[in-house]
Amino acid sequence: AQSVAQPEDQVNVAEGNPLTVKCTYSVSGNPYLFWYVQYPNRGLQFLLKYITGDNLVKGSYGFEAEFNKSQTSFHLKKPSALVSDSALYFCAVRLSITGTASKLTFGTGTRLQVTL
Amino acid sequence: NAGVTQTPKFQVLKTGQSMTLQCAQDMNHNSMYWYRQDPGMGLRLIYYSASEGTTDKGEVPNGYNVSRLNKREFSLRLESAAPSQTSVYFCASSPRGAQSNQPQHFGDGTRLSIL
C-alpha cells in the first residue's frame, strides 16, 4: 500500500518570504513523487517530479522540492512567495515500476495563502 | 492544444437519476483515470484504464461504471445517483510503458450535485 500525508491544511506566508509545504510518503519500494497545484475551478496542474538522481528537483514557477529518503519526505519550497502562488497544493506518490499505469495516491492537499 | 476535455462542466441531478460524464484526451496517452475530489479528502481514484480495452477498479468504485470507448475517450457512468456522489469529478491521462514516469494530465472537472 502507498500513502501520502500533508500535515498542514493551510500555510500562510507573506509575499517575498520563503515558503515550505510539507509532504511525507509511505511506499513499499522506490517512489516516484509529484507535486501538483490547483487554482479555483480548475484541474490539477503538474509542478515537478522526483524520479531518480538529484534529490533537489526544480519545477515550474520557481518551485523546487527536496527528496529525503531517510525521512520519507518531499517538501515543496520556493525562496520568495508571490500572491499569485495562493492555491491548493497536492503531493502524490506511486511505485517506481515502469510499464504500468501511473496509479497515484494523493495527499489531502494544503492551501497556500500568500498575503501582501 | 486542448489536452483533457471533460463534459459537462456542471450538472445537477435528482436522486436515482442516471448520468454519464464524458472525457477525451488528444495527447495519444494510453492510460486514463477518473477521480473524485471531496473537501479534506484529496483526490480518490474511482476507476482507471491502463490501456485501450482494459478497465480496473480504484479506491472508491461502488456506484460507478466506466467505458473505455477508444484510446481517446473514457466515460464514467452513475446508474442511480445518490447524494453521497455529490463531488467534483476529474479525468486524467498519462503515457504508459517507457514513459510511465511522466505526470498525469488533468481536465478541469465536472461539478456534480445530487439532490
Interface touch B40/A108, C-beta < 8 Å: yes
Per-residue pLDDT tens over the stretch A61-76: 999 999 999 999 999 9
The position carrying cell 477525451 is: B24
Residues of chain A neighbouring B41 (CB-CB closer than 8 A): 108
Residues of chain B neighbouring A89 (CB-CB closer than 8 A): none
CB B73 within 8 A of CB B24: yes
Per-residue pLDDT tens over the stretch B43-69: 999 999 988 889 999 999 999 999 998
Whether the CB of A43 is below 8 Å from some CB of chain B: the reply is yes
Q: Does the structure show a pLDDT above 90 at B77?
A: yes
Distance CA B35, CA A38 (A): 14
Which chain B residue shows the shortest CA-CA distance from A94? B101
Q: In 3-state terms, what secondary structure has residue A61?
A: helix
Which chain B residue shows the shortest CA-CA distance from A1? B59
Per-residue pLDDT tens over the stretch A9-30: 999 999 999 999 999 999 888 8
Residues of B with CB under 8 A from a CB of A: 4, 31, 33, 40-45, 48-51, 56, 58, 90, 92, 94, 96-98, 100-109
A11-41: buried (b, 16+ CB within 10 Å) or exposed (e) per residue? bebeeeeebebbbbbebeeebbbbbbbbeee
Strands B10-13 and B110-114: parallel
Write the CA distances from B43 to A17, A40, A107, B39, integer angstroms: 29, 15, 8, 9
More confident residue, B42 or A37: A37
Interface touch A98/B58, C-beta < 8 Å: no
Q: How many other C-beta atoms are found inside a 10 Å radius of the C-beta of residue B74?
A: 28
A-B contacts at Cβ under 8 angstroms: 75
Mean local confidence (pLDDT), B21-34: 94
Interface touch B100/A99, C-beta < 8 Å: yes
Mean local confidence (pLDDT), B9-15: 96
Interface touch A102/B104, C-beta < 8 Å: yes
Write the CA distances from B34 to A65, A66, B89, B115, integer angstroms: 27, 29, 7, 22
Angle (CA) A88 A90 A93, round 5° = 175
pLDDT value at residue B74: 97
Mean local confidence (pLDDT), B23-28: 95
Interface touch A44/B106, C-beta < 8 Å: yes
Residues of chain A neighbouring B40 (CB-CB closer than 8 A): 9, 108
Mean local confidence (pLDDT), A24-51: 92
